[in-house]
């Protein structure tokens, strides 16, 4: 399995730097030819969503589509996939940031606790406790 960082994934997704984008594409194509997988860690996924939002102006719908496409692809292995799937679904319908939803889903799984936060946009009482 091949692990990647945020910059590699972003270059692959947005193709904004021709040289780096081509290298990322070759890496992914090479993995696919070997029937290998590309590992995307949770932090990489969160950072990618943040970068696509803040630097590239992706809409909430576009960010959701990116995450769903990565999840559906046979090439990628996503860390904490079940939690990511739930977080993407909540992100699509909710108001909080993707990172908040993912942290909350991981907290429910790992600590069996809702996520305590100061963020008032985290309105889902089954996930968050706004303090």
Task: Sort strands 115-117 and 2-3 into parallel, antiparallel or unpaired.
Answer: unpaired
Runs of H (alpha helix) within the chain: 6-14, 18-33, 42-54, 60-72, 81-93, 98-110
Give pLDDT, residue 80: 96
* pLDDT tens across the length of the chain (131 residues): 999 999 999 999 999 999 999 999 999 999 999 999 999 999 999 999 999 999 999 999 999 999 999 999 999 999 999 999 999 999 999 999 999 999 999 999 999 999 999 999 999 999 999 99
Give pLDDT, residue 64: 98
The domain segmentation of the chain, as residue ranges, is 1-79, 82-131
Task: Sort strands 128-130 and 2-3 into parallel, antiparallel or unpaired.
Answer: unpaired
Looking at the whole model, is its pTM more than 0.85? yes
């Amino acid at each position: 399995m091949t692990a990647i960082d945020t910059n590699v994934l972003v270059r692959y997704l947005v193709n904004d730097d021709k040289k780096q984008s081509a290298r990322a594409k070759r890496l992914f194509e090479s993995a696919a030819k070997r029937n290998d997988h590309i590992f995307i860690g949770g932090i990489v996924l969160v950072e990618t969503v943040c970068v696509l939002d803040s630097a590239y102006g992706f809409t909430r719908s576009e960010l959701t589509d990116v995450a769903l496409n990565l999840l559906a692809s046979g090439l990628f292995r996503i860390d904490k996939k079940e939690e990511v799937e739930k977080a993407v679904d909540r992100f699509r319908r909710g108001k909080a940031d993707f990172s908040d939803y993912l942290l909350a889903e991981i907290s429910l799984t790992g600590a069996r606790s809702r996520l305590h936060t100061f963020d008032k946009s985290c309105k889902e009482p089954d996930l968050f406790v706004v303090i």
